[in-house]
Amino acid sequence: MSEMIAVYDAAGREIGAQERAVVYAEGLWHASAGVLVRSRDGSKVYVHKRTDTKAVFAGMHDCLAGGVLAPGEDPAAAAVRELGEELGIELGAHDDQPLPLASASWDGEWAGRPMRCHLFAYELRYDGPIRHQPEEIVDGWWWTDEELRSHLENPAWPFVPDTRVLIPDLLR
């Protein structure tokens, strides 16, 4: 049995749980939370490349460290969990916490199938160490908003499509 994730309705209400493989195969609404890691001075964002073995959006670039929500999981808690899992950023109770930045619903397509996701984006100002989870991230680097925007102007540049929806609210 694969990992269970929360299933949502089109309006954004959690309505149950299903195996991740079923959610993707049937195009069920689900939710994800991601964190835009921005340098403390606000001048750069952390961009990374996903591994070629990821089940969804393999080998693509992203500026959000994130993932799907477990049943009953709060988006803010999922965002903090994903920071630790993907980038090795462990936040304690006395550390700055990610702040809500944007949300959207994406009714798109991946690999010829519907992909429907409610997206919750947060921002964290951070200059500490970053340690990639090798199963999820191949490489990462700091870019200015303009550097990222210039790459995004090319629709063929492999960037995750759900984060593209949020870009106007993420970048300055």
Q: How far is CA 3 from the centre of its chain?
A: 18
Neighbour tally for 102: CB within 10 Å: 17
Neighbouring residues of 128: CB distance < 8 A, sequence distance ≥ 6:
89
pLDDT digits (tens, 9 = 90+) for 51-87: 999 989 999 999 999 999 999 999 999 999 999 999 9
pLDDT digits (tens, 9 = 90+) for 84-139: 999 999 998 888 899 999 999 999 999 899 999 999 999 999 999 999 999 999 99
User: Where does residue 37 rank: exposed (0-12), middle (13-18), buried (19+ CB within 10 A)?
Assistant: buried
Q: Tell the residue number behind the tokens 């992909």, with chain if given.
A: 115
Helices and strands per DSSP (H, E), number in the chain: 4, 9
pLDDT tens, residue by residue, 147-168: 999 999 999 999 999 999 999 9
According to the model, what pLDDT value does residue 162 have?
A: 95
pLDDT score for 1: 56
Whether residue 9 is predicted with pLDDT greater than 90 in this model: the reply is: yes
Residue 92's pLDDT is what? 85
- Rounded to the nearest integer, the mean pLDDT of the chain is 96
pLDDT of residue 139: 97
User: Across-strand partners of 7?
Assistant: 16
Residue 141 clears pLDDT 90, i.e. is over it: yes
pLDDT score of 93 = 82
Confidence (pTM): 0.95
